[in-house]
Each structure stands twice: as structure tokens, then as C-alpha cells.
């Protein structure tokens, strides 16, 4: 069991690493961040030490592993060779096998199929001919996604079957893709959960997610679904975690169909955007849970004490001529919590922060969150 005063290594310098570093510092742990970003990264701003180097720099890797006792990660697009080099000298959670699988949609979909975990029908394609065949097989309306390194809607194309597949494939620009049957879903859900080194599995209440331009916009927690559906979603998430032999916090993104089916959309091997409300609304938040799992500490209570709604803040909100948004609407609200990520440059579509609103019910929190969202100018 890792003790306060020992060193947690975090691979990646983004906002998830930042929020994990904060929890570690509060608990008395020391934090070393490894990132290929320029300093200071969002995570590095709260770390005891930040190592900024390419992932293939052997001296930097050696420096990193010498400075830490256990290692975790805050995003999945990390070269496997780097993880392998770190894993040879220090424990790494989640395991490299889980990371390898989740880095690639083709491997992830094959895993779901092999484990008989419910998911959307799919085909793997590598040229315009196989793309046309996949679209025909799946009924026309589909999503074409890059097999690897896609997130927040990047590398995704919606198809209705009428397109010129030669032109689509040329514009797609990736050597392989996964074509998924478009799901007529009632809503999108996620289960943020954790599995400890002892195999114990716990989950937070199921979340309801609303996306805008294929980027998460709003999370409503708990989701406005029946207990039976929530239990089914949690069961699927546990099946995923067990099959991966997972250690750490993860999120399983789901579709709830009109027929009340639960289908896995994606697996995130890390804390997740849809779990940010846990910082303000749960006994143990998703980042503390990650720390507990990685450190070998028993997992905490996932009880949600207050309904909450989380709203993402993207770089589109920042004035074109410079300066910062006026945060007065959030700062003046008695149950709203503002979280900014310390990123130096605001860009359209870039996640710069979020705010959470607590309420008596999910609907009450949503109404307040939508008013604040409009007051900030996010709808403009």
C-alpha cells in the first residue's frame, strides 16, 4: 500500500492529471508528472515535479521511474513502448493490456464481441470497397470512425449510404476504420467506476450525457432512468472491468435504445469527463478513487449526496480579441462550482473547464445549469 509522502507518477499533463494531482496533494502524496507538453502543463502546475520530454527519450524515462513509486495515466494515447519501459521498473495501473485494447477501436470492438458484451453491430474497413460493403450490410445509416487515436468526435464521419465512398475514404485519411450501425438511442449514459487491486468493483450512480458536435456538453447525475436500467448499465460496466482485469477508475459509455437495450459505445481507461460532477456531489470523487486503486488503498464510498449537472466550458467562449470570459454568473450562484484547467491557450472545441450545479433534483439542477450556461454566452 502506497503511503502519504511516497511518489505518484502521472503520465500526461492534461486536466485529468491536474485533478488527480490535486487529490494526491491533498492526501499528502508527492506527484511527478511526465508529459511531452511544454511546461507548465495543467497537471504540472499542481505537481511536485514535472518532466517534459518526448516519450522516446530514454534518459527522461529513466529519470521518471527513478522518481516515482507507482504510475498511472490520465489519457490513453500513449506509445506502448513507453508504458512497457516504465512497467519494467514500476507498477503501472491500469495494466498495459487494458490500455492497448482501448487505444484502438478495432481491438475494443473485437473485445466486446469476444466477451459477449452488448454493443452496436460493426465492420472493419480498409478501402472504399470494404466501406461500401459495410454500409450496405449495416443498413445505410452508419458512423465511420478511425480505428485508433480518436476522441471528442475527432476522426468520425456520419453516413447515410448515399455518399460517394471513394470521396469519403479519401477525405477520411486513415488506413483503417470501424463502421458502426447508427443506433436509434433514447439517451446516452455512462458508468464511471473503479476496480481495486483486490478485485473489488464499485460504481458511481449512472450518468446521463448530452453531446454537442460529438463533444460532451452536459452530464446529468444521477441519470433520469429506472432502477432496473441503472442496474443493467452497472452490470455491463462491471463485466467490462472484470474482463479487462482492470485496476483504477474507468468509464463505460453506453447507448440506451428505444427498446431499453444497453449497448457499449466506448471504454475510457481513466477518469472521465462525465465523472467530473463527483468532485462536488459524491462522498469519494473519481480522482480520489483512481488514487486509492493505484495506491492499493481500499476504494471509497461512491454515494452521491446531491443531484448535480456538469456543463463543459470550451475555448469557443473566450473573446476573439483576448481576455477571459466574465465568470460572474457562476461565481454569484450559491450552488455552482467553477473548475478551470489552467490551459494557456483557448481554442474552439478545446475543453478549458467545467462548472457543476447542485440541486434538489436532477431536473432542478439542470434548469439552473441551463440558465447559467446561457448567462455565460455558451449558446451564442
* Distant-in-sequence, close-in-space partners of 62: CB < 8 Å, separation ≥ 6: none
What is the Cα–Cα distance from 61 to 280, expressed in whole angstroms? 35
Does domain 121-181 fall under CATH 3.30.1490.20? My reply is yes
> Which of 171, 176, 41 has its CA nearest to residue 105?
176
Supply the pLDDT for residue 77. Answer: 87
For the beta carbon of residue 350, count every other beta carbon within 10 angstroms.
16
CATH architecture of the domain 185-376 equals: 2-Layer Sandwich (3.30)
60-89 confidence digits (pLDDT tens): 999 999 999 999 999 998 999 999 999 999
Output the pTM of the full model. Answer: 0.94
Supply the pLDDT for residue 149. Answer: 59
Domain residue spans of the chain: 7-92, 121-181, 185-376
Supply the pLDDT for residue 148. Answer: 76
Does domain 7-92 fall under CATH 3.10.20.30? My reply is no
Q: Give the mean model confidence (pLDDT) for residues 300-320.
A: 96
Q: Give the CB-side neighbour count of residue 227, counting CA atoms within 13 A.
A: 0
Summary mean pLDDT of the chain: 94
Supply the pLDDT for residue 334. Answer: 97
What is the Cα–Cα distance from 308 to 336, expressed in whole angstroms? 10
Amino acid at each position: 500500500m502506497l503511503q502519504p509522502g511516497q511518489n505518484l507518477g502521472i503520465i500526461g499533463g492534461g486536466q485529468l492529471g491536474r485533478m488527480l494531482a490535486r487529490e494526491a496533494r491533498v492526501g499528502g502524496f508527492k506527484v511527478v508528472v511526465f508529459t511531452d507538453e511544454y511546461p507548465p502543463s495543467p497537471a504540472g502546475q499542481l505537481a511536485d515535479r514535472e518532466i517534459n520530454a518526448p516519450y522516446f527519450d530514454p534518459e527522461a524515462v529513466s529519470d521518471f521511474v527513478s522518481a516515482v513509486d507507482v504510475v498511472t495515466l490520465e489519457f490513453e494515447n500513449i506509445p506502448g513502448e513507453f508504458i512497457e519501459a516504465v512497467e519494467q521498473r514500476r507498477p503501472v495501473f491500469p495494466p498495459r493490456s487494458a490500455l492497448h485494447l482501448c487505444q484502438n477501436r478495432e481491438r475494443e470492438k473485437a473485445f466486446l464481441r469476444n466477451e459477449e458484451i452488448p454493443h452496436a453491430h460493426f465492420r472493419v474497413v480498409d478501402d472504399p470497397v470494404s466501406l461500401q460493403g459495410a454500409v450496405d450490410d449495416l443498413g445505410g445509416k452508419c458512423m465511420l470512425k478511425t480505428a485508433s487515436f480518436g476522441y471528442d468526435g475527432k476522426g468520425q464521419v456520419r453516413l447515410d449510404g448515399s455518399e460517394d465512398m471513394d470521396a469519403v475514404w479519401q477525405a477520411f485519411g486513415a488506413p483503417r476504420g470501424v463502421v458502426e450501425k447508427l443506433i436509434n438511442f433514447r439517451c446516452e449514459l455512462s458508468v464511471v467506476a473503479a476496480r481495486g487491486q483486490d478485485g473489488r468493483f464499485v460504481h458511481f450512480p449512472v450518468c446521463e450525457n448530452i453531446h454537442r458536435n460529438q463533444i460532451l456538453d452536459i452530464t446529468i447525475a444521477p441519470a433520469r432512468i429506472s432502477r432496473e436500467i441503472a442496474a443493467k448499465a452497472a452490470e455491463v460496466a462491471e463485466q467490462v472491468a472484470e474482463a479487462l482485469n482492470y485496476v483504477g477508475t474507468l468509464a463505460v459509455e453506453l447507448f440506451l435504445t428505444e427498446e431499453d437495450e444497453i449497448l457499449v459505445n466506448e471504454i475510457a481507461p481513466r477518469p472521465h469527463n462525465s465523472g467530473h460532477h463527483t468532485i462536488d456531489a459524491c462522498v469519494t470523487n473519481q480522482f480520489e478513487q483512481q488514487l486509492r486503486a493505484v495506491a492499493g488503498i481500499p476504494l471509497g464510498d461512491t454515494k452521491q449526496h446531491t443531484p448535480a449537472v456538469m456543463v463543459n466550458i470550451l475555448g469557443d467562449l473566450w473573446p476573439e480579441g483576448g481576455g477571459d470570459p466574465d465568470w460572474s454568473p457562476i461565481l454569484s450562484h450559491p450552488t455552482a462550482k467553477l473548475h478551470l484547467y489552467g490551459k494557456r491557450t483557448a481554442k474552439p472545441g478545446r475543453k478549458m473547464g467545467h462548472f457543476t450545479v447542485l440541486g434538489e433534483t436532477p431536473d432542478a439542477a439542470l434548469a439552473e445549469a441551463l440558465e447559467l450556461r446561457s448567462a455565460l454566452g455558451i449558446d451564442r
